[in-house]
């Protein structure tokens, strides 16, 4: 009886081994997930179309500016999270303002070669008559893609002033995750 069980068990191992060996190599190969997008893979800029321009002339509500990333590489890559954004002011008293992040949850994006995504910056414009110490006049934006250290420097093309809240806990000017 013992040798019969051993023979059955041995036959099962042989059959299982044969079945595993019969799987085609292409089916056993797992396609690697795309790597994250590096700064060198991307180009960036402000969306400047009529429907994308922030309403910097109004001073009663928030408005949005959009920055886009385009995958200029020859491979698919992913973006996840928030870009780093530092605004550099035009006035000597402005300095640099590192924008706070919204509470929105990021989603992982896959960018094929040539594909574009963007993110928004919510802004609170103020009137030109606002006291100088209460307004920030944007000049340049230093934009770092998520999980990167290299950045792009973009000239602010829209004019206007923003309510200066660079020390606020919950400022009315902040950025949203890439893709949202």
Count of all residues that appear for the chain in the document: 180
**Residue 103, SS3 per DSSP:** coil
Contacting residues for 156 by C-beta, under 8 A, at least 6 apart: 46, 87, 138, 139, 140, 141
- Do the domain assignments include residue 32? no
- Do the domain assignments include residue 1? no
Domain that holds residue 48: 39-175
Helix ranges (DSSP H) in the chain: 2-21, 25-28
- Do the domain assignments include residue 14? no
| CATH classification at residue 46 | 2.60.40
In the predicted structure, residue 149 carries a pLDDT above the cut 50? yes
Neighbours of 127 (CB within 10 A): 13
The number of angstroms, rounded, from the C-alpha of 12 to the middle of its chain's C-alpha atoms is 52
Neighbours of 125 (CB within 10 A): 24
Q: To 10 degrees, the CA torsion angle through 23, 29, 31, 35? A: 160
- Do the domain assignments include residue 120? yes
- Do the domain assignments include residue 89? yes
**Number of domains into which the chain is organized:** 1
- Do the domain assignments include residue 19? no
Tell me: the pLDDT tens digits for 72-120?
999 999 999 999 999 999 998 899 999 999 999 999 999 999 999 999 9
- Do the domain assignments include residue 132? yes
Tell me: the pLDDT tens digits for 25-36?
555 566 788 999
User: What's this model's pTM, rounded to 2 decimal places?
Assistant: 0.81
pLDDT band at 10 (very low <50, low <70, confident <90, very high): very low
| Mean pLDDT for the chain overall | 87
Read off φ and ψ for residue 132, nearest 5 degrees.
-55, -40
Q: Are 178 and 144 in contact, with CB atoms under 8 Å apart? A: no
């Amino acid at each position: 009886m013992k040798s019969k069980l051993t023979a059955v068990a041995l036959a099962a191992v042989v059959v299982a081994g044969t079945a595993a060996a019969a799987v085609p190599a292409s089916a056993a190969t797992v396609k690697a997930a795309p790597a994250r997008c590096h700064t060198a893979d991307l180009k960036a800029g402000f969306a400047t179309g009529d429907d994308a321009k922030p309403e910097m002339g109004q001073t009663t509500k928030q408005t949005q500016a959009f920055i886009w990333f385009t995958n200029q590489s020859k491979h698919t890559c992913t973006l996840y999270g928030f870009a780093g954004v530092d605004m550099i002011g035009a006035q000597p008293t402005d300095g640099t303002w590192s924008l706070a992040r919204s509470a929105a949850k990021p989603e992982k994006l896959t960018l094929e070669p040539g594909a574009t995504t963007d993110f928004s910056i919510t802004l609170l414009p103020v009137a030109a008559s606002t006291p100088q110490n209460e307004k920030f006049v944007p000049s340049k934006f230093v934009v770092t893609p998520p999980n990167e250290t290299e950045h792009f420097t973009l000239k602010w093309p829209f004019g206007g002033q923003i309510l200066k809240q660079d020390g606020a806990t919950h400022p009315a000017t902040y950025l949203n995750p890439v893709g949202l």
